[in-house]
């Protein structure tokens, strides 16, 4: 099965290619972007983006992940990434995303997240989608709320990053078409 390209009004969410590696390192490597993520390294070392991109098609083939490059439809510019970590046995997925700093506050993340949520529910038959954000990053929580997720709770000191523990806020939603 080939990973699809998803589309919204302004964006294309497509599989990453190795030609995206430099731009990924440039955008995600900014401390202001990486500091609010669970997995983006900082500093973003040479070769990291290539390794990350290389494992994505295998994750999609196994059904354990679907990661998309968020690009502008009009010119193909890479803005960020969005993806699902899928637990097929539980019919649930964790959605995560990052957007390069030059593209913050433009609605791109919300637009991409809505399309990926719809894909997960409609094409992958996911029952539950959840997401987490650091308490210090309320903008990510606003994206979750805008796409219909509800706050479910706080996980105190749940993540250790940059020498500190961080409280994580968790959001979730259920696919109402599959609800019994």
CA angle 81–40–143, rounded 5-degree value: 50
Closest CA to 177 of 124, 131, 132, 130: 124
How far apart (Å, rounded) are the C-alpha atoms in residues 132 and 142?
12
Per-residue pLDDT, 42: 87
Per-residue pLDDT, 178: 52
The CATH fold of domain 6-131: Aminopeptidase (3.40.630)
Which stretches of the chain score pLDDT less than 50? 179-180
Per-residue pLDDT, 176: 79
């Amino acid at each position: 099965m080939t990973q699809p390209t998803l589309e919204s009004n302004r964006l294309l969410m497509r599989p990453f290619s190795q030609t995206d590696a430099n731009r990924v390192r440039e955008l995600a490597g900014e401390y202001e972007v990486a500091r609010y993520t669970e997995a983006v390294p900082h500093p973003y070392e040479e070769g990291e983006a290539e390794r990350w991109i290389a494992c994505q098609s295998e994750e999609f083939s196994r059904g354990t992940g679907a990661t998309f490059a968020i690009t502008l439809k009009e010119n193909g510019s890479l803005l960020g990434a969005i993806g699902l970590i899928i637990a097929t046995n539980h019919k649930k997925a964790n959605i995560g995303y990052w957007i390069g700093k030059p593209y913050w506050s433009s609605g791109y993340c919300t637009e991409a997240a809505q399309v990926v949520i719809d894909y997960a529910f409609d094409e992958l038959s996911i029952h539950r989608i959840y997401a987490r954000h650091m308490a210090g990053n309320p903008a990510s929580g606003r994206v979750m709320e805008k796409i219909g997720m509800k706050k479910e709770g706080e996980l105190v000191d749940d993540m250790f990053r940059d020498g500190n523990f961080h409280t994580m806020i968790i959001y979730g939603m259920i696919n109402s078409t599959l609800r019994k």
